[in-house]
């Protein structure tokens, strides 16, 4: 039952996951209705201003946990004491923990939330969520969300029973869907000769129905197994009842973050820095803002080709000036390009210039570049898209 990806918390892993989904990510940005909240949000000229209007400058960091064990041996487990200390750290630093309900009301533009807050999620439905984490969370009075995959409910072993889940529900614990089978939703390993579309429908909606009928609560958020997703899955989900989809991409959530791919910081004993990074991303404005700006192609960062630029050179050199990101750690700089995946870019810490020459001719018309790095305040990054049109001939060559 263990979810066996290793290293989803390294930028390298994230880039691999992002590289899988680079093109779809941009289409989510462009997709109408996304981000939902931003499209329906109030403006200063709206007719019924309310003190409860969403504060668009708020930032939420989502923490993702799995199992709570006295001898945590893998990246999905955390020692209960370490978990307790993290909850205490939130309390000591005055960081509020919000409920999924409040998070979604904020996303819809209907409610203000604390300027900097945390949402706690626990994936997979392991018994330790009920027996170990819940009592600790109760002590602190923190709300949290359980992301369940229905094939692993009520099946013995370390799984939870429906009765236990109903007990949690009655006490105010919230729930979301984590699929039916927990398989890779883009390239399912267990689907041998079956119909992928039917399978996917069951992963997204069959499991949703089971959770809703067993728990008698609406299920309208989803956590992608392994964080893996694509544009089809996101669009299908958002068109059919889901309002928030969570990845394992460790970035804070802004009001404008696309609903189809909301970041989460997955916390475990084997990657203790992730919790610190999450708080840094929350509290350190530079990290948070930079990552946020990345979502709409950062106006801070000068790139070549520019965002939305049309080019006719099939072998362009990709460039970015990282100076606005401050003291970027050279070894943390990662570049991925749609159609190419992660590439080895040159980064000169003296000039803060990043460059990468495309090595084989572009074929896709739309190319997205994903850049990430770390500075002293945490993760920073930017994403931009340019267009390749061989017939353009804007520049004589």
With b for 16 or more beta-carbon neighbours within 10 A and e for fewer, the 212-231 pattern comes to bebbeeebbbbbbbbbbbbb
The region of 3-11, 130-138, 192-200, 282-290 touching Zn ion under the rule CB under 5 A is: 3-11
Q: Closest by alpha carbon to 353, among 393, 318, 306, 392? A: 318
Contact set for Zn ion, span 229-248 (CB under 5 A): none
Residue 59 binds Zn ion, judged by CB under 5 A: no
Write the interaction track for Zn ion spanning residues 306-345; mark x where CB under 5 A is met and - where it is not. ----------------------------------------
Using a 10 angstrom Cβ sphere, with 0-12 exposed, 13-18 middle and 19 or more buried, the burial of residue 81 is: exposed
The region of 67-75, 87-95, 120-128, 190-198 touching Zn ion under the rule CB under 5 A is: 120-128
Of 152 and 384, CB closest to Zn ion: 152
For strand 67-68 and strand 59-65, is the pairing parallel, antiparallel, or unpaired?
unpaired
The region of 118-126, 274-282, 336-344, 384-392 touching Zn ion under the rule CB under 5 A is: 118-126
Of 3 and 22, CB closest to Zn ion: 3
Question: Which secondary structure element, helix H or strand E, spans residue 378, and what is its range?
Answer: strand 378-388
> What whole-number distance in Å separates Cα of residue 263 and Cα of residue 269?
20
Applying CB under 5 A, among 69, 102, 123, 203 the residue interacting with Zn ion is: 123
Question: How far is Cα of residue 88 from the mean position of the Cα atoms in its chain?
Answer: 24
The region of 84-92, 116-124, 206-214, 292-300 touching Zn ion under the rule CB under 5 A is: 116-124
Closest approach of Zn ion to the CB of residue 182, in Å: 6
Structural contact between residues 169 and 217, judged by C-beta atoms closer than 8 angstroms: yes
Structural contact between residues 78 and 267, judged by C-beta atoms closer than 8 angstroms: yes
Q: Tokens 């066996």 map to which residue?
A: 4
Q: Report CA-CA distances (Å) from 303 to 2, 64, 214, 336, 369.
A: 41, 33, 51, 14, 10
Applying CB under 5 A, among 38, 41, 63, 124 the residue interacting with Zn ion is: 124
Shortest Cβ contact with Zn ion: which residue? 123
Number of residues near Zn ion (by CB under 5 A): 3
Of 142 and 152, CB closest to Zn ion: 152
Residue 183 binds Zn ion, judged by CB under 5 A: no
Residue 3 binds Zn ion, judged by CB under 5 A: yes
- Give contact residues for Zn ion (rule: CB under 5 A): 3, 123-124
């Amino acid at each position: 039952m263990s979810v066996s990806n290793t290293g989803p918390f390294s930028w390298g892993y994230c880039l691999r996951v992002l590289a899988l989904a680079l093109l779809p990510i941009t289409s989510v940005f462009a997709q109408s209705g996304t981000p939902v909240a931003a499209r329906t949000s109030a403006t200063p000229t709206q007719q019924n201003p309310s003190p409860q209007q969403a504060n668009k400058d708020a930032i939420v960091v989502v923490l993702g946990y799995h199992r709570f064990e006295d001898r945590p041996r893998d990246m999905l487990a955390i020692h209960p004491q370490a978990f307790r200390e993290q909850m205490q750290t939130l309390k000591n630093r005055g960081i509020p923990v919000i409920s999924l309900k409040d998070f979604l009301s904020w996303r819809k533009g209907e409610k203000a939330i604390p300027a900097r807050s945390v949402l706690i999620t626990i994936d997979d439905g392991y018994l330790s969520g009920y027996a170990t984490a819940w009592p600790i969370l109760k002590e602190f009075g923190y709300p949290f969300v359980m992301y369940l995959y229905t094939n692993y409910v009520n099946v013995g072993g370390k799984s939870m029973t429906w009765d236990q889940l109903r007990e949690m529900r009655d006490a105010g614990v919230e729930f979301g869907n984590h699929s039916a089978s927990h398989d890779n939703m883009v390239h399912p390993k267990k689907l041998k000769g079956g119909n992928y579309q039917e399978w996917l429908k069951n992963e997204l909606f069959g499991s949703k129905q089971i959770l809703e009928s067993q728990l008698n609560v609406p299920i309208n958020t989803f956590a992608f197994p392994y964080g893996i997703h694509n544009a089809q899955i996101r669009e299908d989900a958002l068109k059919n009842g889901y309002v928030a989809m969570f990845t394992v991409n460790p970035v804070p959530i802004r009001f404008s973050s696309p609903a189809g791919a909301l970041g989460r910081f997955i916390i475990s004993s084997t990657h203790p820095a992730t919790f610190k990074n999450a708080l840094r991303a929350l509290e350190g404005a530079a990290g948070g803002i930079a990552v946020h700006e990345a979502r709409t192609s950062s106006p801070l960062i000068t790139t070549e080709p520019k965002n939305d630029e049309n080019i006719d050179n099939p072998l362009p050199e990709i460039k970015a000036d990282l100076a606005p990101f401050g003291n970027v750690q050279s070894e943390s700089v990662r570049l991925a390009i749609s159609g190419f995946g992660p590439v080895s870019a040159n980064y000169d810490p003296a000039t803060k210039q990043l460059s990468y020459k495309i090595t084989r001719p572009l074929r896709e018309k739309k190319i997205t570049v994903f850049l990430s790095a770390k500075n002293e305040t945490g993760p920073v990054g930017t994403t931009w898209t340019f267009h390749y049109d061989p017939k353009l001939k804007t520049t004589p060559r």
